[in-house]
Amino acid sequence: MSKKIKLTVFNGVLALFIIFQTPVFAQDGKMYPIEAPDEPNAIPLGTGGVDNQPATESWFRQWGDPMARNITTATLTPFLANPKIANGTSVIVAPGGGFMWLSMGNEGWEVAQALADRGINAFVLKYRLQPTPATLEGFDNIMNRRFDDAAKSADSEAAPKRERPRWDLSNQLEDAEAAYAMMLDRAEEWGVNKDKIGMIGFSAGAGLTMATTLQSKKVKLSFIGQIYGGMNAVELPENPPAMFMAVATDDFLFNGEFGVIKSWYDAKVPVELHLYQNGGHGFGLGNPDRTSNTWFDAFIHWLDVNKFITPIN
């Protein structure tokens, strides 16, 4: 059974509805082209385009989830919590995809709706991406080669530990800064507590979250969530945010590295790591029969214990 994702506004609050229907596309690893879904509440961030990008934005479905690539116009989509349960805490949600596509359903809209259901305002950041081939077949070929190389590196005992590629994130960082600035500008309208703004990222989105934390002079986050993000040690700025991290041991990019945790620990900044037995890479809110499926509840509990979701008086 497949699912159709629909965004709409109900009583002034952005809502996401998942409608189960007769399958149109198989829910497997094959890429299927799809029409771009309606995004009526997506707000352009006005951060410009992408150099040397001849292709237009296009969408495909893989593993049953909608994905976008060749994004040249960054947007922010609010998922505002119902005022009856809203607590003012607000989170930028950064989907992953190797900076070449975005997993908009699995790591974007679904996560944002889950946060809104807990009283947390969520804002899905559709950030600009690197250019990829215009055809889906060309893109598929490139991605298959990359995943094959990564898997071979992970399986080889003689191979050195694989570090994630270090991309130029100038565009993406500018998009994150614009998203944060918009949240501040419209804080009263959206019920955003300026002192309780966080960011959660998945895979490449976790990389952007980390880059925002380490490099931005304009964004002041209270907390961050790193979901199957990079584990290498980093040099922290002054007053870094508290960090929650979740990763599975069978993630082919994990490699038993804990440097980033030690970076936070040595700086005496609150940090929590959930290392799961299984879940692989890209599990989003969860896959069937995986221990990693409890991470979201653990994240909410962590926010609660650290008083990041205390209601505004």
DSSP, residue by residue, the chain: -EEEEEEEEETTEEEEEEEEES-SS-SSSS-EEEPPPP-TT-EE------TT--SPPEEEEETTEEEEES--S-EEEEEPPPTTT--S-EEEEE--STTTEEETIIIIIHHHHHHHHTT-EEEEEE-------SSHHHHHHHHHHHHHHHHHHHH-SSSPPPPPP----HHHHHHHHHHHHHHHHTHHHHT--TTSEEEEEETHHHHHHHHHHHH-SS---SEEEEES---S-----SSPPEEEEEEETT-TTTTT--HHHHHHHHTT--EEEEEES---S--TT--TT-GGGGHHHHHHHHHHHTTTTPPP-
In a domain, 313, yes or no: no
Q: What is the CATH number of the domain that holds 249?
A: 3.40.50.1820
In a domain, 23, yes or no: no
How many distinct structural domains can be found in the chain? 1
pLDDT per residue rounded down to tens, the chain (313 residues): 334 444 433 334 344 433 333 344 455 789 999 999 999 999 999 999 999 887 899 999 998 999 999 999 999 999 999 999 999 999 999 999 999 999 999 999 999 999 999 999 999 999 999 999 999 999 998 887 776 765 665 555 544 554 555 679 999 999 999 999 999 999 999 999 999 999 999 999 999 999 999 999 999 999 999 999 999 999 999 999 999 999 999 998 899 999 999 999 999 999 999 999 999 999 999 988 899 999 999 999 999 999 999 765 5
In a domain, 109, yes or no: yes
Write out the residue range of the structural domain in which residue 225 sits. Answer: 42-56+65-305
In a domain, 92, yes or no: yes
In a domain, 7, yes or no: no
Whether the model pTM is above 0.75: yes
In a domain, 4, yes or no: no
In a domain, 9, yes or no: no
